[in-house]
Amino acid sequence: MKRIGVLTSGGDNPGLNPCIRAVVRMGLYLGLEVMGIHRGYAGLIDGEMEEMNARSVGGIIGRGGTILSTARCPEFHEPKGRKEALRSLNRFGIEGLVVIGGNGSLTGALELWRMGFPVIGVPSTIDNDVNGTDISIGVDTALNTILDAVDKIKDTASSHHRAFLIETMGRNSGYLALVSGIVGGAELVLIPEVETTFEDVCRTIESAYIRGKAHCIIMVAEGWKPGTQELARQLRARQEELGFSVRVTQLGHVQRG
């Protein structure tokens, strides 16, 4: 093997650039040529790639995002798109591929492997929902970002004696909400994996108020149903008996930085 490719695919997350740097520099150390593929599988199909050297990845170890860019690629879900990607790999003389991404990206990597192409998949998603790995690239930084926000929200919640619903990312996984809730001292954590009733939530908020707490923090995973906004609407209808007024903070894409 003389030439490999590396790409980042799907949603971005903290740690992609250090991972790209490690792939490039280790490849060069082993005497390989390394091609950086832009925009994930979309760039692979379109042939958007360049040869990388040690300076290509200089100074990126502390930067968020991905220098290779990333994109969703519906075409790759179809056999025709995957065949075009394989033709592109062969056209550029790439003999092995490193795919950095989450479940969708690694599923794509598996399809290429089934077509006989050598692939290495690197789990990289703040959702931390990749089977077979304890922790994915990006999770630790995302948790630190969430906890920093929780600490600040606690301050304003205490000032106004409020209950806050703090929504984290994670798609159908409750990992971020669960761990940040435990470490951040939340009163309750709502995750897709565990059923929690509306009355359970009300009792938790009432209990915090009766015990004299100045605030009540509830972590909500974005995949929890019926959802953060619907829960807030229902809680506001019972605000007087709960003791706390209710506010919502959706942390959103700051968790990916």
List the catalytic residues.
127
Candidates 185, 196, 187; CA nearest to 246 is 187
* Six token digits for residue 126: 């703040």
For residue 142, the cross-strand partners are none
209 CB-near residues (< 8 Å, 6+ apart): 216, 242, 243, 244
Candidates 177, 106, 165; CA nearest to 139 is 177
Candidates 171, 37, 47; CA nearest to 104 is 171
Which letter does DSSP use for residue 244 in this model? S
Euclidean distance between CA atoms 227 and 209, whole angstroms: 23
Q: Around Cβ 241, how many Cβ atoms within 10 Å?
A: 10
Q: Residue type at 14?
A: P
Q: What are the backbone dihedrals phi and psi of residue 120, each rounded to the nearest 5 degrees, phi first?
A: -115, 130
